[in-house]
């Protein structure tokens, strides 16, 4: 059977070719070998495309889209699956460089045997976030301490016969750039679901860190971001080195010790468990020195807030004071000036507001009590007021004795009494007398001989103290 067309006769063979579907016709003209879509997904897509009457190119594109979507989905949900499995079989402890526990871990790492043999290590002169060398060590003080720590990255180490892997991550973000420091996080992980191993590690690290500070007083300073930064530590100063009237020293120490063991007494009577001291008087009379010594005697740290800090606000001040669980030292500007964002009401709320911390000792030091607002030092906020005067003759005698301990008992008594008799009572501060004796180290007789001319040169009064009231701690 034949049909007549414009260009001639089309036979049956060609007719059958022409009536093939477009898929077969395209394959015949392109002379491609017969093939079937490979893979289960590809076959399913080809079947669907054939039923929809979609062309070959669209079918191939649809296959690629479906396969790509399946891979992307597997990758996305696979991440959740991996995280789920990690949480089930791996326990991790994380430490932030803005927290004190970060220093505990670095100190622990410095003493771990792995840090002594790893080939990838970092060298640091500090293990605190503030960058200060905070720990006292028996080494040459002319050189800073050196800490050898595992470098940033992943490290494998052993602890109590358990395999741990440690990851140090440095984050160079915008906040770190503002504070000119790198934010670091340390992650320590191990297999298992029990946290006991890592919790014990943290407690061991904390104890090692504390043990190195048992004979030292640690000072923390507030920054403008609501955080405490460890700034320094110094050997505890014995109370015997503080030359103030003995009765005053005994009264203050006894009062502070009684407060620390009276929490239940305060609670039973509904009284906020806080204690406030106001130390006021002439510059150089030993106010801040006594705070250092008192903190050492009580085994407490010192937390310092400078209200002249421009980044300090009412909110950050409240957060800082609510974090203090030991001694908190606050310095007042005598003239009350300074540019900052702390309001007077914010300061009062931080001291004894609803969110104020309990169980802390607050020490305010000032040279001019009369310039303080009465609301700041009212009873309840300040419980004990102590006036530090210029040196008495008895204090001058005691200071001389402490400066020259190598004298015989007779020499010490005679020279110290002669020295004290030549010092006008309540005219010079302890700092001025100390300055004079510092110029005669190891020369007690010469100090006694020259004290009269020194006193005469200051007959119009001692040199005016020009030290800044902004400094958080006295020398």
Per-residue pLDDT reduced to its tens digit, 362-406:
888 889 889 888 998 999 889 999 999 999 999 999 999 999 998
Looking at the structure, tell me whether residues 381 and 429 fall in a common domain.
no
Looking at the structure, tell me whether residues 337 and 400 fall in a common domain.
no
Compute the average pLDDT of residues 446-460.
Answer: 91
What integer pLDDT is reported at residue 27 of this predicted model?
40
For position 253, which CATH number holds?
3.40.50.300
| pLDDT per position as a tens digit, 126-157 | 776 544 444 444 444 556 778 889 999 999 99
DSSP state of 371: G
Looking at the structure, tell me whether residues 404 and 443 fall in a common domain.
yes
HSE value, Cβ hemisphere, 13 Å, CA-based, for 449: 5
In a domain, 462, yes or no: no
With tokens 């690290």, the residue in question is 205
Looking at the structure, tell me whether residues 408 and 283 fall in a common domain.
no
Looking at the structure, tell me whether residues 260 and 376 fall in a common domain.
yes
Number of domains in the chain: 5
Between 9-18, 162-171, 212-221, 395-404, the lowest mean confidence (pLDDT) is in 9-18
Q: Is the dihedral of CA 426, 431, 432, 433 positive or negative?
A: positive
With tokens 């300090």, the residue in question is 312
What integer pLDDT is reported at residue 205 of this predicted model?
92
- Asked if pLDDT for residue 63 goes beyond 90, the answer is no
In a domain, 225, yes or no: no
What integer pLDDT is reported at residue 142 of this predicted model?
59
HSE value, Cβ hemisphere, 13 Å, CA-based, for 202: 16
| pLDDT confidence band for 349 (50 / 70 / 90) | confident
280 within 8 A of 365, measured Cβ to Cβ: yes
DSSP state of 392: P
In a domain, 49, yes or no: yes
Q: State the Cα–Cα distance between residues 330 and 413, nearest whole angstrom.
A: 39
Tell how strand 360-366 and strand 274-281 pair up: parallel
Looking at the structure, tell me whether residues 407 and 350 fall in a common domain.
no
Looking at the structure, tell me whether residues 264 and 324 fall in a common domain.
yes
In a domain, 402, yes or no: yes
DSSP state of 334: T
Q: State the Cα–Cα distance between residues 77 and 71, nearest whole angstrom.
A: 10
Looking at the structure, tell me whether residues 361 and 429 fall in a common domain.
no
In a domain, 127, yes or no: yes
Looking at the structure, tell me whether residues 5 and 41 fall in a common domain.
no
Calculate the CA dihedral of residues 416, 419, 425, 429 and round it to 10 degrees: -90
Looking at the structure, tell me whether residues 26 and 54 fall in a common domain.
no
Q: pLDDT exceeding 90 applies to what percent of the chain?
A: 33
Between 62-71, 88-97, 159-168, 394-403, the lowest mean confidence (pLDDT) is in 62-71
| pLDDT confidence band for 408 (50 / 70 / 90) | very high
| pLDDT per position as a tens digit, 9-23 | 444 443 333 334 434
User: For residue 336, what are its two tokens?
Assistant: 């009350």
- Asked if pLDDT for residue 33 goes beyond 60, the answer is no
What integer pLDDT is reported at residue 350 of this predicted model?
81
Tell how strand 121-124 and strand 147-150 pair up: antiparallel
pTM greater than 0.75 (yes/no):
no
Looking at the structure, tell me whether residues 207 and 239 fall in a common domain.
no
Looking at the structure, tell me whether residues 151 and 241 fall in a common domain.
no
In a domain, 370, yes or no: yes
Compute the average pLDDT of residues 162-174.
Answer: 82
Residue 174: in which H helix or E strand, if any?
helix 174-178
Q: What are phi and psi of 326, to 5 degrees?
A: -135, -135
285 within 8 A of 390, measured Cβ to Cβ: yes
Question: Domain range holding 44?
Answer: 36-84
Residue 149: in which H helix or E strand, if any?
strand 147-150
């Amino acid at each position: 059977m034949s049909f007549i067309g414009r260009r001639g006769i089309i036979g049956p063979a060609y007719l059958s070719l022409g009536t093939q579907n477009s898929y077969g016709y395209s394959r015949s003209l392109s002379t491609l070998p017969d093939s079937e879509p490979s893979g289960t997904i590809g076959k399913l897509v080809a079947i669907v495309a054939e039923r929809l009457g979609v062309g070959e190119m669209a079918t191939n594109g649809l296959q690629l889209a479906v396969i790509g979507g399946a891979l992307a989905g597997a990758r996305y949900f696979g991440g959740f699956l991996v995280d789920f499995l990690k949480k089930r079989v791996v326990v991790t402890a994380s430490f932030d460089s803005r927290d004190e526990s970060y220093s505990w871990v670095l100190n622990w790492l410095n003493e771990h045997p792995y840090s002594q043999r790893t080939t990838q290590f970092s060298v640091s002169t500090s293990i605190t976030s503030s960058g200060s060398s905070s720990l006292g060590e028996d080494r040459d003080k002319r050189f800073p301490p050196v800490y050898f720590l595992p470098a940033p990255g992943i490290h494998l180490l052993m602890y109590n016969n358990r395999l741990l892997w440690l990851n140090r991550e440095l984050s160079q973000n915008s906040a770190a750039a503002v504070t000119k420091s790198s934010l670091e996080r340390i992650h320590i992980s191990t297999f298992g679901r029990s946290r006991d191993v890592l919790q014990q590690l943290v407690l061991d690290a904390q104890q090692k860190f504390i043990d190195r500070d048992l004979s030292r007083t640690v000072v923390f300073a507030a920054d403008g971001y609501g955080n405490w930064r460890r700034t320094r530590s110094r050997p505890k100063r014995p109370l015997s080195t503080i030359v103030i009237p003995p009765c005053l020293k005994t009264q203050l120490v006894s009062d502070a010790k009684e407060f620390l063991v009276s929490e239940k007494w305060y609670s039973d009577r509904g009284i906020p468990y806080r204690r406030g001291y106001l130390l006021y008087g002439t510059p150089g009379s030993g106010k801040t020195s006594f705070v250092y010594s008192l903190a050492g005697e009580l085994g407490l740290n010192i937390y310092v807030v400078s209200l002249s800090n421009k980044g300090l606000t009412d909110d950050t001040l409240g957060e800082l004071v609510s974090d203090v669980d030991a001694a908190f030292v606050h310095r007042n500007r005598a003239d009350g000036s300074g540019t900052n964002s702390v309001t007077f009401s914010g300061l009062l709320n931080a001291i004894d507001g609803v969110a104020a911390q309990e169980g802390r000792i607050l020490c305010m030091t000032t040279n001019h009590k009369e310039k303080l607002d009465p609301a700041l030092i009212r009873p309840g906020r300040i419980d004990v007021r102590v006036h530090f005067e210029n040196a008495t003759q008895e204090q001058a005698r005691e200071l001389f004795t402490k400066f020259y301990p190598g004298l015989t008992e007779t020499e010490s008594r005679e020279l110290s009494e002669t020295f004290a008799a030549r010092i006008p009572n309540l005219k010079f501060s302890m700092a001025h007398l100390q300055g004079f004796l510092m110029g005669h180290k190891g020369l007690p007789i010469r100090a006694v001989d020259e004290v009269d001319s020194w006193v005469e040169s200051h007959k119009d009064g001692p040199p005016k103290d020009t030290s800044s009231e902004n400094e958080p701690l006295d020398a």
